[in-house]
Structure 1
């Protein structure tokens, strides 16, 4: 079983999936602990500013150079 990185501090979060009164796209500010950290781990919310994302810093995935067959 993988261990989750400890999350700390206040962060701005964006709701990725509507649940429990939160709506898709809504942004909130909260401390990254308890249920909020679990929601981020489950992918229900994402860290968009501040705090420490449990899966690491958010960034776009790099383009993969590969065989581009026509």
Structure 2
């Protein structure tokens, strides 16, 4: 299973996903270049996990956020 979040590895979101992965076997972290790109990919990510930082901002400075959720 994969957990999708903002990349690269130096972002807080990616580091949080890595920490979550440390407690869950067989989980791969996938970084995306922006939350907008990640949101546009949701239809293809069915059955995988999504981690969005509560303090994240999109390119228009709008707030994003929430817990790690399964994509159904």
For the criterion TM > 0.5, the same-fold answer is no
Higher helix content, 1 or 2:
2
More strand by share: 1
TM-score (structure 1 length as normaliser)? 0.27
TM-score for the superposition, normalised by structure 2? 0.27
Greater Cα radius of gyration, structure 1 or 2 = 1
